Copies of this chain bind each other. A is one copy, B any other.
Amino acid sequence: MKKQSLSHKIARLRSRLQEAEWRRYGALLLIGKLTGIGLLVVVMAFLNPGLLGSRVFAADPVLKGNDIVNPINTVWTLIAAFLVFGMQVGFTMLEAGFCRSRETVNVLMECIVDTCLCGILFWAFGFAFMFSHGNGFIGYHWFLLQDVPATYETSGVAFLAFWLFQFAFADTCSTITSGAMIGRTGFVGDLLYSVAVSGFIYPIVGHWAWGPDGFLATMGSAGNFLPGLGTSFHDFAGSTVVHTIGGFIALAGAIVLGPRLGRRFKRDGGGPMLPHDLTIAASGGLLLWFGWYGFNPGSTLSAMDFEGIGRVAANTTLAACAAGLIAMAVAYTKNKTWDVSFTVNGFLAGLVAITCPCYWVSPTGAILLGGIAGVIVVLGVDLLEWLRIDDPIGAVPVHGICGIWGTLSLGFFACGKYGATGPLAADNSAPLKGLFYGGGTTVLMAQAVGSAIVTVATFGVALAVMYAVNAMGLLRVSPEGESLGLDLHEHGISAYPEYVISSVASPAALVVEKTDKVVIPATQAFLATQGD
């Protein structure tokens, strides 16, 4: 066969297109081809997105969407969980530094044992009460982590990674409580109320707001609690769920316990007992700030919502910065000193406040609401002093009161741009808008209702628990034990057996004579116990 020229071929094609049989044959060929391609596309789209067009590399695995989303969201949640766990180091140092040296070992033990206890309780039933399906009041599946799915709900986060994240939150709540009860709580009493906090109060009240069917989570819609409200209760990372709960249990504990021996209040001519190590306390405060980057940004449970995690992290930072500066300034106007305790509690107050609204406000809003928290925390400390409540580290104003403020602040500052996070991306189709952005009082009302219910319920139950433990004679140590110091009384050792402790550390700290005389009660007492 001789080679045909291109022009000849085109001419032949043109003549054939005029013949019906050749046209039918061509159409059949085309239809068959397109059918084949269509089928192939469907099969491939079904099996695998992202097939061709990539550089060819023999060993390359083919990944489904969830093969990518689940690891990314799980890594994010796990690292956030680690950071939240790291807050235990911060709390331990903060509380240890702010207390007196004679009660330091007790603080260390409470922080560590609360963590251990919380882990076992959250494995056994705490997590089940809080995050499993049940009713609006409590969850009742997944006890002992039995029969759990691979990922939590639709988050794409491995179930046990989600468990760890939530355990770290529960642990935080439990540790907050201990801060207001430093220096006079018996260790067995601490174990008892910690079981109540980690195992029951936090998980059950928490279920209301964060459980898959909690009545505050579903509030405001048809068929649920207060259907007329028009919106549910929102608490992104726990201003209410973690901090208000922790802070108001702390308040109940401090009230039932009463103040430490020798603690005189300002209106009685006294003042707060001195901390014993501000370096440890301030470093612990900064570690808490560091760990908060797991707390708030991690609460998306989704790194796929990459704009969300960036915004939450930035808002968290700015609220803390503003609150620290404002608290320092307010304290300066009162005392004419640049007070490090108020500055630390200031930025912590900002962090607590931004914890609820961090996803829905703008950086400017974060600064404003954080700054207000910086004022509130100083006033809150004054209020407790006036009420003659001894809260050695300021747990109630920082966590309890600023938790309420943060929860309400969403009703003012929600900027109307952001709706809900999600495992694949944000869903901003129904954004939250607060009073200051023209959204009216809908969000504010829902926040007020949720905050009030949680606060009242928590405080009531916590009072009952604390009174019960107290009635068993286990909540407060004997005056003799307290005078000796909890460390020697309960734990058999001083935190610093070698250091010479000045007489300032005697129970009535500020009423000592001005003298060079050096007494070393802790060391002496220790030696006395060893000599037996």
Contacts and interface: CB of A to CB of B under 8 A. Distances in A.
Interface in A62-110: 62-72, 74-76, 78-79, 81-83, 85-86, 88-89, 92-93, 96-97, 100-101, 104-105, 108-109
Contacts of A307: 150, 158-160
B60 A48 contact: yes
Given A36-B36, A39-B37, A337-B492, A309 B514 contact: no
Contacts of A39: 37
A498 B101 contact: yes
A120 B325 contact: yes
Contacts of A135: none
Nearest to A93: B283
A140 interface: no
A144 to B, nearest CB: 7
Secondary structure at chain A's binding surface: helix, strand, loop or mixed? helix
Given A51-B44, A63-B50, A279-B277, A504 B497 contact: yes
A105 to B, nearest CB: 5
A306 B71 contact: yes
A339 B487 CA distance: 10
Contacts of A251: none
Contact of A72 (B20, B75, B118, B150): B75
A129 interface: no
A428 interface: no
Query: Ordered nearest first, which 4 A-B pairs have the shortest CB separation?
Result: A119-B321, A158-B310, A45-B53, A161-B310
Interface residues of A, number: 162
B497 A276 contact: yes
A420 interface: no
Interface in A11-35: 20, 23-24, 28-29, 32-33
Interface stretch (A200-208, A311-319, A385-393, A433-441): A311-319
A340 B110 CA distance: 10
Contact of A502 (B115, B324, B498): B498
Nearest to A163: B314
A68 B162 CA distance: 21
Interface string A104-137: 1100110111011111100100000000000000
A37 B530 CA distance: 87
A278 interface: yes
11 contacts: A40-B52, A48-B50, A49-B64, A78-B297, A78-B310, A119-B320, A120-B318, A161-B313, A274-B493, A278-B495, A337-B493
